Amino acid sequence: MIILKRPEEIEKIRVACQIVARILAEVSEKVKPGVTTFELDKLSEKLAKKQKAKPAFKGYRGYPYSLCTSVNAEVVHGLPSKTRVLNEGDIISLDFGVVKDGYYGDAAVTLPVGKVSEEAMALIEVTREALYRGIAKADPRHRLFDISHAIQSYVESHGFSVVREFVGHGIGRSLHESPQIPNFGKKGHGVRLKPGMVLAIEPMINQGVHEVEILADNWTAVTKDGKLSAHFEHTIAITEDGPEILTELE
């Protein structure tokens, strides 16, 4: 069952999402060679506190941090660490969410650390564009897997692969609500999209094979072949006129 949100609820989700967007932007500015992923986590936590918002991930299924910091071959759920110093040429995905006034917002970006290879930059750009191609289908004239298909076809046409094990999700009073939103699927299939649906769309895209494995820390997902991975996420609301991107900085 997909919970439709009333305009007053979407307004509260928008407030949470704008806090997420501002914090991600501020943390992104700190991404450079020499900084540790632990410092980025601490900053995200401090900024959330300042906004009187609660980091959404800390404590979620026992997740120990506020931010997910996934470097290079790490796909998602990379754990911040005092010994993980960013180096020129790395790429890093930052995934962050808050709950404010009972409603959640969730977003992710992937950034280059200093100057990175052309291939790394291409992976980042294709993943970002894939998210926007998916969002472009999020209107009442389309079905759920039209979003999935738009992402998959764009990504694969560039020779990259779509992670299967993790998916996007509905969001609202919970971080994860129905429906699950795979980043692969068949055009014209899935539930019909409706105004009032609020979705977190989040392609995770690999440079090589799509398979992932989980490290011994039981959180960090990495690519099976050790090649790079990128991740972008927006929380969006479906309106009569199309998608509204709630986590886009206003």
Alpha helices in the chain (DSSP H): 7-29, 37-50, 118-135, 144-157
Binding part of the chain for ligand MF3, among 21-29, 33-41, 54-62, 115-123 by CB under 6 A, reads 54-62
What's at 215, amino acid-wise?
L
Binding part of the chain for ligand MF3, among 60-68, 111-119, 125-133, 204-212 by CB under 6 A, reads 60-68
Write a three-state SS string for 129-182.
Answer: HHHHHHHCCCCCCCEHHHHHHHHHHHHHHCCCEECCCCCEEECCCCCCEEEEEC
68 binds ligand MF3 (CB under 6 A): yes
Taking the C-alpha atoms of residue 87 and residue 113, their distance in angstroms, rounded to an integer, is 7
Site size toward ligand MF3 (CB under 6 A) is: 13
Binding part of the chain for ligand MF3, among 19-27, 39-47, 53-61, 236-244 by CB under 6 A, reads 53-61
- Can the peptide bond before residue 203 be classed as cis, meaning omega within 30 degrees of 0? no
Residue facing ligand MF3 at closest CB distance: 63
Sketch the per residue contact string, 156 through 185, with ligand MF3: x for CB under 6 A, - otherwise. -------------x----------------
233 binds ligand MF3 (CB under 6 A): yes
Are 119 and 89 in contact by the 8 Å Cβ rule? The answer is no
Taking the C-alpha atoms of residue 164 and residue 178, their distance in angstroms, rounded to an integer, is 17
To which residue do tokens 């990259």 refer?
160
Report the residue from 41, 106, 146, 177 that binds ligand MF3 according to the rule CB under 6 A: 106
- Using CB under 5 A, list all residues that contact Co ion: 106, 200
- Using CB under 6 A, list all residues that contact ligand MF3: 57, 60-61, 63, 68, 77, 95, 106, 108, 169, 200, 202, 233
